[in-house]
Structure 1
Amino acid sequence: MSPFGPRPPRAHASVDNLRTHLLDGARTAPHRPAVIQAAPGGGLETVTYGELAARTDRCADALDDLGLDVGDRVVIESDTSADAVATLLACATLGLPFVPVSPGLPDERLRAVIDGAGPALYLQAEDGRRTGIPEPVGTGRFGPHGPTLERAPAPRGPRRRRTVTPVDTAYIIFTSGTTGRPKGVTMSHRGVVSFLRGVQASGFLTPRDRVASTAPLQFDFALFDIGFALGHGAALVPVPRDRLSWPRRFLSFLRETGATQIDAVPSLWRPVLRHEPGMLAELGESGTVRGVLFSGEAFPPAELRHLQKLLPGADFINLYGPTEVMAISVTRLPNPLPAGAERLSIGTAVPGAEMTLIGPDGRIVDEPGRIGEIHVRSTSLFSGYWNDPQTTAAALVPDPLDRASGRLVLKTGDLASHGPDGDLYFHGRADSQVQIRGNRVELGEVEGRIAAFPGITGAVAAVLPHQDGEPRLHVFVTPAPGSPAPDPKEIAAFVRAALPAYMVPHHLHPVDAFPLTPNGKVDRAALSALVPS
């Protein structure tokens, strides 16, 4: 019996519901592993598709008792786990958009997310330590047996909805906004399922695969890993957060779980390549690792070649796409990467989607080498930014090639060019282009050139203010193990040999490792803070 009186009729899910799509394995192969994870007392725990479906249904039944309506938001704070996945899918079953956040999120940032999303309920894992969730948001914890309510949500009115449709919101991911306020990317069931079906058509996975996921749950690629694995009937392998900072512990966990596919941002591989190349080579020699996926930032070609040398039998998959589409291309790169390759292909869009380059004049860019802004046509487009129609209208724009149709496309803000093979090659963000002495500079081009210098494994460029009012180009670099400190004059000459003089850095800063954000990307703000003002 619901604490609010007789239970109203439960909403039922459409065939395109995220839960229906991802738990199809419970119908076809209930005894197959769905999640292989670290057990609380040590060792490993395997949760089958049948058990994951049972946990999802237990959680859905408990949430249904709260009288929440289709569209009511639920914040879920957790690392990736079988119980977290079951809770996400229970919310999807009932049409409750979930808002994933990670335990390491600062209190102030979480409060901003709660203020923006206006959730009815906040749930954290059983071992969660978060306190101070504001009323009238309900609170509770979840585990293998479903959620336990701690504080009931504010009383709801009668349910107005009975069907969860494909266009209803599946989840909202809050990303950094230019105003300093988190920006909520709203994704429908149709959008995410459409993308995952496109990935399935590419044939990268089999049900026998085990996908190691390293992204925090609040990052869209954690949701990609969940969908990628479960959508193929494969097993998800969440890597514990405390294993990621220690290369040996990270590689040991991959070996223990028999992970065959590893999804990790390029920054995560850097300390592995520096400190444990031998152990990684042993993993490659075992033949277990079939694929390495990466996304979120550029992979320096020198580091990628090093990784490929240690994993010669693996496929290397470059994922491209903003949060507004989860991803849009899944591209297999050659292993080894050709010696002259300085940029990595992002290929073409997954089946059922299209990427078009548009120039500043609004016309299509199709000749090789010329840069344009990527515009995306796809049923996997996000619905909009939560409660922000103005920003939504700037991103979802009339199709510049067919304005009369009323069709909207995503104006990504990402720059790319066509290669002679027809593939697209990423050139960074339009807003990462900066002005130096009146000249437009793409920071990624500077980073790529310096990263190609012998003895340099990575480079991050930034334009920082100077006391004379003229901005300066700074570059932070990570030297290869055993290499001498880079000579700024030699690097300047190396850059000047290929790029204009205004793209030569004013200052070079060697660092042992690049600091990372909670999402695993290079923390540019932390690097900039290393430079005295």
Structure 2
Amino acid sequence: MYTVADLLLSNARTRAGAPAVIDGPNVLTYNQLADRAHHAAGHLASRLTSGARIALLLPRSADAVTAYFAAHLAGLVPVFIHDQLRPRQVAHIIDHSEAGLALTSRRLAARLHEALPPERILTPEDLTQTTDGTRTTVPTISRDLAGLIYTSGSTGRAKGVMLSHDNLLSGARIVADYLGLTQADRTLALMPFSFDYGLNQVLATFHAGGAVIIQRSAFAPDICRSLLDHGVTGLAGVPSLWSDLLHPSSPFTTTRYPSLRYLTNTGGALTPTTIQAIRSAHPQLDVFAMYGLTEAFRSTYLDPALLDSKPTSVGRAIPNCHVDVLDEEGRTCPPGVVGEIVHRGPTVTMGYWRDPDTTTLVFRPRARLRPPWSETVVHSGDLGYTDADGDLYIAGRRDELTKIQGIRVTPSEIEADISAAGMTAGVVALIVPDPDGRPDPSVLVAVEPRDAYFNLDALRAYCSAELPPHMRPRRIEILDSLPRTPHGKPDRKRVLSLLTNTSEEQ
């Protein structure tokens, strides 16, 4: 297989009648999915030229999977947009990616009105109109741009990570191999396709010829019902999901799932308590603790046999890739010494779309052989160390980028979105451990009002309406004047002290 479209087309040739996507009561075989994708590709290819970007603002669904493969068959570059993002954030991605069209649902179409004219906004239903029946496949090669994944950055604006077909197929093949995926596997798709984790689930399952089960509801009892009803073999999640599934009100620990054989986790470490609870309830499960960043697509995993003895480790580099821990001089750190985590291998992506300066900072050449032969590696900004066995542990970040609900976010991104309300003269956002011990951190915000008419309830309402759930403040504190450093910048340490010493929630 050379391109992402081949994942579908090869299965349609060899496993035509096998289920590819199960979305509620609807089952699409590989042949049916290929027919629908080819049909939609004809419409798309008639409107956009090869290499153009197409935005996909769609909930997890069979329609979203169809649209994704249709875009590839039409030679386009799909850009999934998280369906919880607000219009201003959606508009930024549309504008920055220079998307020529957007595919969305009728329910979500209003979020695109600021970004595109109506004639450039389509729904999946628009692609079902009769055509001449031609099976459109626009030629692409493995090194072509195959997608943009938008991820948070230190500037406060999402950056588009460029992935090639090689990146996506390498990630699919490697993950399918170490998870032991086969044609019998049924993967529950709960993670958004706009994240590398969620997208890789689909591609790895298709690489093995298995079936993807669409899970729309994130309510723990609904997830548990799907695990049983569809004979799910694999479930991917982030720490907040395991917290929900292990809650006393959830049936996860009291129900047996005879088909379920593995869980995967990323977006934050599994706690020993969580591991013990999962193990006690389902001792047959292999639990894979993983680590990665979009810029390297897939990075490491811990052998499930080591989870009990090394619960805080994320293991070693995935096959055919390598992860180094380097000091400030670029030398390999000895075991136990913290350095920056640097990735190399076929999953290292192509850089940032329309951002050569940041690309140069993060994607750097590194000589590997004598005489020097250079390859591009990713400097993650994550800090870590290895133990004597070579297993990796995460120690923090060089910057302030954090994951909440598995989604990367920076304080500056939250500050930019709250400032856009026009109600404040200054905003400082802090991401701190949750005071109630929940696995995801909390967002605390201090604001300096713009004028005497400032209304805290109005700002809260704005945050609820304009910020996605993972970015919403747990508490907003009003300060007459934000403390500042001698250089005139907000004194974040002082703000942290003020907010964490205030016990009452506003």
TM superposition score normalised by structure 2: 0.76
Aligned to 1:507: none
Give the secondary structure class of the aligned counterpart of 1:526. coil
Distance across 1 between alignment mates of 2:234 and 2:153: 32
Q: Structure 2: which 5+ runs fail to align?
A: 131-136, 404-410, 412-428, 439-463, 478-498
Cα deviation, residue 227, structure 1: 0.8
Return closer, same or farther for 1:479/1:100 CA change in 2, 3 Å cut-off. Answer: closer
Give the secondary structure class of the aligned counterpart of 1:92. helix
1:65 maps onto 2:46 in alignment: yes
Cα deviation, residue 163, structure 1: 3.8
* Residue of 239, 252, 255 corresponding to 2:225: 252
CA RMSD, 1 decimal: 3.1
Q: Structure 1: which 5+ runs fail to align?
A: 1-14, 39-43, 150-160, 434-442, 445-461, 463-470, 481-514
Asked if 1 retains the 8 angstrom alpha-carbon contact of 2:279 and 2:285, the reply is yes
Asked if 2 retains the 8 angstrom alpha-carbon contact of 1:315 and 1:335, the reply is no
Distance across 1 between alignment mates of 2:80 and 2:467: 13
Cα deviation, residue 394, structure 1: 0.5
For residues 64-101 of structure 1, the C-alpha deviation after alignment (integer angstroms, 9 at most, x for no partner) is 222x2221110011112222111111111222111101
Cα deviation, residue 125, structure 1: 3.0
> 391-400 or 126-135: which moved more?
126-135
* Residue of 296, 300, 305 corresponding to 2:267: 296
Cα deviation, residue 115, structure 1: 1.3
Distance across 2 between alignment mates of 1:300 and 1:237: 28
1:281 maps onto 2:253 in alignment: yes
Asked if 1 retains the 8 angstrom alpha-carbon contact of 2:159 and 2:352, the reply is yes
Distance across 2 between alignment mates of 1:518 and 1:472: 15
Q: Which amino acid aligns with 1:263?
A: A
Asked if 2 retains the 8 angstrom alpha-carbon contact of 1:281 and 1:310, the reply is yes
Q: How many residues are matched?
A: 421
Aligned to 2:70: 90
1:184 maps onto 2:166 in alignment: no
Distance across 2 between alignment mates of 1:46 and 1:237: 9
Give the secondary structure class of the aligned counterpart of 2:378. strand
Q: Which amino acid aligns with 2:123?
A: R
1:79 maps onto 2:26 in alignment: no
Cα deviation, residue 184, structure 1: 0.6
Distance across 1 between alignment mates of 2:23 and 2:368: 47
Aligned to 1:209: 185
* Residue of 409, 419, 441 corresponding to 2:377: 409
* Residue of 319, 328, 332 corresponding to 1:360: 328
Distance across 1 between alignment mates of 2:375 and 2:282: 44
> 387-396 or 305-314: which moved more?
305-314
Aligned to 2:449: none
Aligned to 2:347: 380
* Residue of 265, 285, 303 corresponding to 2:238: 265
Return closer, same or farther for 1:115/1:432 CA change in 2, 3 Å cut-off. Answer: closer
Aligned to 1:51: 32
Aligned to 1:399: 366
Give the secondary structure class of the aligned counterpart of 2:434. strand
Identity of aligned residues (%): 26
Return closer, same or farther for 1:23/1:373 CA change in 2, 3 Å cut-off. Answer: farther
Aligned to 1:9: none
For residues 142-174 of structure 1, the C-alpha deviation after alignment (integer angstroms, 9 at most, x for no partner) is 14x83569xxxxxxxxxxx97412121111111
Give the secondary structure class of the aligned counterpart of 2:279. helix
Give the secondary structure class of the aligned counterpart of 2:227. helix
Q: Describe how 1:328-339 pairs up with structure 2 within 5 A.
A: 328-334=299-305, 337-338=308-309
Cα deviation, residue 249, structure 1: 2.1
Distance across 2 between alignment mates of 1:193 and 1:177: 25
Return closer, same or farther for 1:236/1:223 CA change in 2, 3 Å cut-off. Answer: same
TM superposition score normalised by structure 1: 0.72
For residues 267-302 of structure 1, the C-alpha deviation after alignment (integer angstroms, 9 at most, x for no partner) is 11212212335x21343x342210111112222221
1:142 maps onto 2:124 in alignment: yes
Distance across 2 between alignment mates of 1:519 and 1:379: 33
Distance across 2 between alignment mates of 1:386 and 1:357: 27
